[in-house]
Amino acid sequence: MSIFRDDVLRGKVALVTGGGSGICKGIALTLASHGAHVAVMGRKLEPLQATVAEVEAAGGQGLAVAGDVRRPEEVEAAVARVVEKFGALDILLNGAAGNFLCPAAQLSPNGFKTVIDIDLAGTFNMSRAAFSHLQARGGSILNISATLHYGGTPMQGHVAAAKAGIDALTKNLAVEWGPLGIRTNAIAPGPIDGTEGMSRLAPGEMRDALIAATPLKRFGRIEEIAWAAVYLCSPAAAYVNGATLVVDGGRWLNNMPLPG
Ligand code: HXC
């Protein structure tokens, strides 16, 4: 997963929500390969345990914690378990997300609310629960956003609204918690290969169209998001606070793709 091993995160403790699959699994493994102890949280224990097994096989220390980011009591318990095992919490990666394609006119109120609850309220619930621990040693929060809401994206109104809220929360926490020693940033990934999201959301022709519209002419790779996460969580980004780093091959800037 990682092109290099380093100890830039040695001694740090990270908690990655959604770390059982996709981009967030890649981030968890890469944080671990850079020296962090990594806990992963999600609704299903089995994929989390698989991530931890990979961390441990590579010589790192990991922890799988089952919990739903929508349930504040499960969130509190998960954070407490991480601190109990590793003695601290330095990095919170908010990656748990729900997604499906649905035109707004057909989306039920509960369908809309469900994605807002997972993505946006989940990010708040986790950040709130982690706050005192992050403050104790000077930590950082990294939220996974998207580029959907930079324009309008059909069938993604629920996700776009949730991610726009995450961007707002990122800036707000950066301002409120920066003075307390907590940096808050976000990554906005473009289309990334090898994720459940992309295989379900952008099959066939849609994939080709996305690639055509991307200046770098390909999907991104999970490790390319993970390296951005290592940077933002590391001392190399010590003065970066409230930023959203777009990692999308320049796709969202491309108003009019060149022919060919
Ligand atoms: C319309 C749907 C739906 C669908 C669920 N709902 N799937 N509506 N189309 N395909 C509605 C349900 O009908 C219900 O509303 C409400 O949503 C809750 O559904 P449940 O299945 O009861 O909820 P839950 O079990 O909590 O599951 C929520 C879920 C989740 C969002 C569907 O299972 C999920 O997200 N799975 C995929 C996870 C995933 O792919 N994550 C990666 C995200 S990628 P009613 O009214 O019937 O009660 C990503 C990248 C963004 O975020 C950028 C992309 C470019």
- List, for residues 63-116, the tens digit of each pLDDT value: 999 999 999 999 999 999 999 999 999 999 999 999 999 999 999 999 999 999
pLDDT band at 155; cut points 50, 70, 90: very high
Q: What percent of the chain has pLDDT over 70?
A: 97
Model pLDDT for residues 219-252, shown as the tens digit of each residue: 999 999 999 999 999 999 999 999 999 999 999 9
Backbone angles phi, psi at 225, to 5 degrees: -80, -40
Phi-psi region of 47 (alpha: psi -120 to 50; beta: other; left: phi over 0): alpha
Q: What is the DSSP string of 239-258?
A: T--S-EEEESTTGGG-SSPP
Verify whether ligand 1 is closer than 6 Å to residue 24 (CB atom).
Answer: no
Verify whether ligand 1 is closer than 6 Å to residue 112 (CB atom).
Answer: no
Ligand 1 centroid distance, CA of 108 (Å): 11
Select which of 145, 199, 217, 234 is catalytic: 145
pLDDT of amino acid 4 = 47
Which residue, among 170, 228, 196, 169, has the nearest Cα to 44 in the 3D structure?
196
Mutate to test the pocket of ligand 1, among 68, 94, 100, 200 (most ligand atoms within 8 A of CB): 100
Select which of 113, 163, 171, 199 is catalytic: 163
Residue 3, C-beta contacts closer than 8 angstroms, at least 6 positions apart: 223, 227
Backbone angles phi, psi at 219, to 5 degrees: -75, 160
The verdict on whether 145 is a catalytic residue reads: yes
Write the burial class of residue 28 (CB in 10 Å: 0-12 exposed, 13-18 middle, 19+ buried): buried
Tell me how crowded residue 162 is: count the other CB atoms within 10 A of its CB: 28
Mutate to test the pocket of ligand 1, among 114, 214, 247 (most ligand atoms within 8 A of CB): 114
Question: Closest ligand 1 atom to the C-alpha of 100?
Answer: 10
User: Looking at beta carbons, which pairs linking 155-160 to residues 24 or more positions away fall under 8 Å?
Assistant: 155/101, 155/102, 155/103, 155/104, 156/99, 156/101, 157/104, 157/107, 157/112, 158/102, 158/104, 158/107, 158/111, 158/112, 158/115, 158/116, 159/97, 159/98, 159/99, 159/115, 159/119
Which residue, among 91, 85, 89, 96, has the nearest Cα to 41 in the 3D structure?
96
Residue nearest to atom 26 of ligand 1 (CA): 114
Model pLDDT for residues 124-138, shown as the tens digit of each residue: 999 999 999 999 999
